[in-house]
Amino acid sequence: MMEKKINSVLLLGIIVVAMNLRSPITSVGPLVGIISENLSLSGGQAGLITTIPLMAFAIISPIAPKLANKWTIERTIFGALMVLIVGMFLRAIPQLFFLFLGTTLLGAAIAICNVLIPGLVKKEFPDKSGLVTGIYSVSMNLTGAIASGISIPLVKKVGFDWNVALGLWSVLALIAFIFWLPQLKRHDKGVTEIKLEENSSIWASSLAWSVTLFMGIQSFIFYVLVAWMPEMLVDKGLSTAQAGGMLSLLQMTLLPVTFIVPIIAEKRPNQKSFVWVAFLLFASGIVGLMGNNMTITTFSIMEIGVAGGIAFSLSMMFFNLRTTSAKQAAELSGMAQSVGYLLAATGPFLFGFLHDVTNTWKTSLIILLAMTVVLLFVGLNSAKNRVIK
């Protein structure tokens, strides 16, 4: 009975922490144009606003399990939440230096939580990892959708400056900080400590590399669209508020998928059918974005949302399904999110750079389409029913 209560409190803590793992990034996407104009940024500099967190993910992710090994998962996540709060406050200072510094800090904090939560779920909820993964995925993506949808209204209708609109999300980080406090009492019991195995061969595993590339490519596609889809839609004739609403639609579409897919995928002998569906929807959606018909564009955005939900859910589930222990899950999570986000980090910058050079979005979308083919290949390999030895 006591253990059930402890796990309920832990689950609530995971949910509230998850609510902070996308909103700090998705909230800035619709405001890129306003920030660029206010701070006189180039396309490349504007792309860095969403690229910097991904670079932080790449650098910090492999360090996170080592920090948890030293301080326990609970204390490490607690420290990450403190860094997140500081980063969000700094990003709200309307100067380029503080914008980039705050963005770097919040990216590092999110990276730590991203890496450690899958291992925590595998250890504390071994028989319900699909359900718990679905719950925290929905929490993450719901707040991400809300953040992208209300950023422009906060500026245009409420009258906030862009930095105030972004700074408001620090309140959610403060709430997570408070909700995580009960977990600090558990560290002496050693129930969630991760001890990484010596001479781990995970970096030599072809399966681990497939999972890593799958994680990276789906992140590449998602963060490119979060960063630049609003600007693409404005170029098609939408207002900034309408474009922000479309980004919110994309994320709202993936919500039910991120809850359902982990529960079903966990029970299947393999996940190849999910990979195929994600590929076909991604490809169809990206092709649809190349045209100017708004009905097709809207449908394409919904296709991409469903595809993104499937791909993201599979990425999270592979950390558990392809490993044999919580420590191995944390190590795979660290590897996949390090290398994967390093790959993803090139996306927004490359997308913005190509648009500056070609003055069209089509070239960038063709590259995105090519990435879906690679996603299919590594996804099918990751979906085979086996574990890392």
In this prediction, residue 200 carries a pLDDT of: 58
Classify residue 194: in a domain, yes or no.
no
Asked whether residue 189 is assigned to any structural domain, the reply reads: no
Phi-psi region at 249: left, alpha or beta (left = phi > 0; alpha = psi -120 to 50): alpha
Take residue 86 and report the two structure tokens written for it.
């500081």
For 311, half-sphere exposure in the C-beta direction (CA atoms, 13 angstrom radius) is 32
18 Cβ contact partners less than 8 Å away, ≥ 6 residues apart: 113, 117, 136, 137, 139, 140
Is 216 exposed, middle or buried (CB count within 10 Å of its CB: 0-12, 13-18, 19+)?
Answer: buried
Task: Give the separation between CA 333 and CA 375, rounded to whole angstroms.
Answer: 18
Considering the domain boundaries, does residue 17 fall inside one? yes
Tokens of 19: 């609510």
34 and 162 Cβ atoms separated by less than 8 Å: yes
- Per-block mean pLDDT, blocks of 10 residues, the chain (389 long): 62 96 89 92 83 86 90 93 98 95 97 92 86 92 86 90 95 96 70 46 91 94 85 90 84 89 91 98 96 94 96 93 87 90 82 88 93 97 94
Complete DSSP assignment for 71-92: H-HHHHHHHHHHHHHHHHHHHT
Cβ atoms within 10 Å of 294's Cβ, excluding its own: 14
Q: Does 196 reside within a domain? A: no
Domain count for the chain:
1
Quick one: three-class SS letters along 138-149?
A: HHHHHHHHHHHH
User: For the chain, percent helix, then strand, then coil, each to nearest 5?
Assistant: 85, 0, 15
Return the amino acid letter for 263.
I
Are the CB atoms for 32 and 46 separated by under 8 Å?
Answer: yes
Which pLDDT value is given to residue 344? 79
388 located within any domain = no
The CATH number covering residue 218 comes to: 1.20.1250.20
pLDDT of residue 340: 82
Give me the pLDDT at residue 351, please: 87
Residue 236 lies in a domain: yes
Q: Which domain holds residue 242?
A: 2-184+202-382
With respect to residue 192, please indicate whether it lies within any of the assigned structural domains: no
Q: In angstroms, rounded to a whole number, what is the distance separating the alpha carbons of residues 197 and 372?
A: 34
Residue 101 in domain: yes
**Verdict on whether the full-model pTM lies above 0.75:** yes
pLDDT reported for residue 284: 97
